[in-house]
């Protein structure tokens, strides 16, 4: 891109509120990523009093809005674009996006939700930055018909500070849109969707015999920083790129940014670009998942005004001793609506929880074990501790490989008002804000896990 065109791009970006990030995107030593739920016309209600009046019935409306969305996507020219609620069921709209993005140098991958829901995902990567090594589709086949995309890409040209023949320059990119929490019974489904994504990423890395590499998770997570999904991802070492850029702590959930005004009129922050660098130690996935489910379990008990002692008594149920049995444990899960229906834990999932809690395998859980494994699960299992010892030995012995990681250089939400917690009434592109993050590649040591 010439200097003149770059100047035009910066000018246009300033007009739509993105001047603060324009110079970062134009920096050839950085890569950028945009995630945006673009509100499928089949869901866009034009009349609050008439739920059947949808934008999809008025071609001029949805065509104009999506042309404007494409205008600023092409103007911003992020290296990675992840869209949710992409109207895959409309051939004209799909062709418009594929043609305009393709002409601008993007490689496009679309994925429809299952059961012909009509919308889906679109992930685009710019060929000036990436070579696509692989593309996988994840179909959850759950009640929300949700899906995810996995792209395995390689940086086209080595960045100057990272040039080395033995430095891996590959990235895994995930785009998804989690189920909306219409009621509390769906929380397990949402947590399970994230669990499946991380399981799939883990199995893909093993299948391809990949050493640790950066993982970027993009999308509409339909949950805030107060939720169990957020805590689960944090427990796996992921960081929220926007919060990292603005130095917000996990506890800053009430007083900062939003990114969505939902169909109920509530405003919340639900759109994230998560980053996991290859040098970050990760707990065993099943351990983190069990801890997250036990956190949900504890929340439900506390919501029922049960103290720690009350909760233990509740779990004991009709046990003849001062301990919890597997039957009593499952009955408590059923009464809390966590199992026994299509939205809940599977039989295998409930058993996995029990195994995590019954650490010595004696078939019962006494009060001490209840405290350590269920009520305040700050534990690691033995395998987790072994993994940590191996990690520390690698660091001490300096037996480390080199990999490309990323530092978060900048992050912006648009419209800019959402960064202060307000939703502008004149914003008409979507009911979500767009999030753009700029990353700077850096070399970092990481343990070699594959020989």
CB distance 407 to 440 below 8 Å: yes
Q: What is the pLDDT of residue 80?
A: 98
SS3 391: helix
Q: Mind listing the pLDDT tens digit of every residue in the chain (451 residues)?
A: 443 443 444 344 434 445 556 656 667 789 999 999 999 999 998 877 667 789 999 999 999 999 999 999 999 999 999 999 999 999 999 999 999 999 999 999 999 999 999 999 999 999 999 999 999 999 998 888 999 999 999 998 765 555 555 566 899 999 999 998 766 667 888 888 999 999 999 999 999 999 889 999 999 999 888 888 998 999 899 999 999 999 998 887 666 899 999 877 889 999 999 999 998 767 788 888 888 888 888 888 888 888 998 889 888 876 678 889 999 899 888 888 888 777 778 888 888 889 988 988 899 999 999 988 888 876 444 434 333 333 333 333 444 567 789 999 999 999 999 999 999 999 999 999 999 999 999 988 776 554 4
Contact 253, 296 (CB under 8 A): no
**Beta pairing partners, 81:** 34, 124
Q: CATH 1.10.238.10: does it fit domain 290-379? A: yes
Q: Quick one: 3-283+400-446 is in which CATH superfamily?
A: Endonuclease/exonuclease/phosphatase (3.60.10.10)
- Same CATH topology for 3-283+400-446 and 290-379? no
Which residue reads 């993105």 in tokens?
18
Closest Cα partner for 410 from 442, 439, 433, 434? 439
Q: Where are the domains of the chain?
A: 3-283+400-446, 290-379
Q: Are strands 170-177 and 215-220 parallel, antiparallel or unpaired?
A: parallel
Predicted local confidence at residue 395, as pLDDT? 38
pLDDT of residue 11: 41
């Amino acid at each position: 891109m010439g200097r003149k065109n770059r100047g035009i791009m910066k000018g246009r970006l300033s007009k739509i509120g993105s001047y603060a990030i324009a110079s970062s995107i134009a920096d050839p030593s950085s890569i950028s990523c945009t995630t945006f739920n673009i509100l499928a016309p089949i869901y866009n209600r034009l009349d609050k009093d008439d739920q059947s009046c949808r934008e999809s019935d008025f071609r001029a409306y949805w065509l104009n809005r999506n042309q404007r969305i494409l205008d600023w996507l092409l103007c911003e020219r992020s290296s990675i674009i992840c869209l949710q609620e992409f109207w895959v069921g409309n051939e004209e709209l799909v062709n418009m996006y594929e043609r305009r993005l393709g002409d601008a140098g993007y490689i496009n991958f679309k994925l429809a939700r299952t059961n012909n829901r009509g919308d889906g995902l679109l992930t685009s990567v710019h060929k000036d930055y990436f070579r696509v090594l692989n593309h996988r589709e994840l179909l959850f086949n759950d009640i929300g018909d949700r899906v995810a995309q996995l792209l395995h890409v390689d940086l086209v040209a080595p960045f100057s500070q990272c040039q080395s023949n033995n430095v891996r320059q590959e990235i895994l990119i995930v785009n998804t849109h989690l189920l909306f929490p219409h009621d509390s019974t769906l929380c397990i489904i949402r947590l399970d969707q994230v669990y499946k994504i991380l399981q799939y990423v883990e199995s893909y890395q093993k299948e391809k015999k990949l050493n640790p590499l950066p993982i970027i998770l993009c999308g509409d997570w339909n949950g805030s920083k107060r939720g169990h999904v957020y805590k689960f991802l944090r427990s796996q070492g992921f960081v929220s790129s926007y919060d990292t850029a603005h130095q917000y702590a996990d506890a800053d959930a009430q007083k900062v940014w939003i990114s969505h005004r939902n169909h109920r009129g509530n405003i919340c922050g639900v759109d994230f670009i998560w980053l996991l660098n290859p040098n970050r130690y990760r707990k065993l996935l099943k351990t983190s998942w069990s801890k997250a489910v036990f956190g949900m379990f504890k929340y439900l008990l506390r919501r029922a005004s049960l103290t720690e002692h009350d909760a233990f008594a509740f779990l004991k149920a009709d046990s003849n001793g001062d301990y919890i049995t597997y039957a009593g444990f499952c009955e408590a899960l059923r009464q809390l609506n966590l199992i026994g229906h299509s939205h809940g834990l599977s039989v295998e999932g409930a058993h996995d929880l029990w195994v995590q809690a019954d650490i010595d395998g004696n078939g019962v859980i006494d009060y001490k074990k209840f405290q350590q494994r269920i009520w305040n699960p700050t534990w690691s299992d033995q395998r987790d501790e072994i993994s940590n010892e191996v990690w520390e030995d690698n660091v001490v012995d300096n037996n480390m490989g080199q990999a490309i990681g990323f530092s978060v250089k900048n992050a912006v939400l648009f419209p800019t008002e959402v960064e202060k917690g307000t939703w502008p009434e004149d914003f008409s592109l979507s009911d979500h804000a767009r999030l753009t993050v700029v990353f700077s590649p850096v070399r970092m040591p990481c343990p070699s896990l594959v020989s």
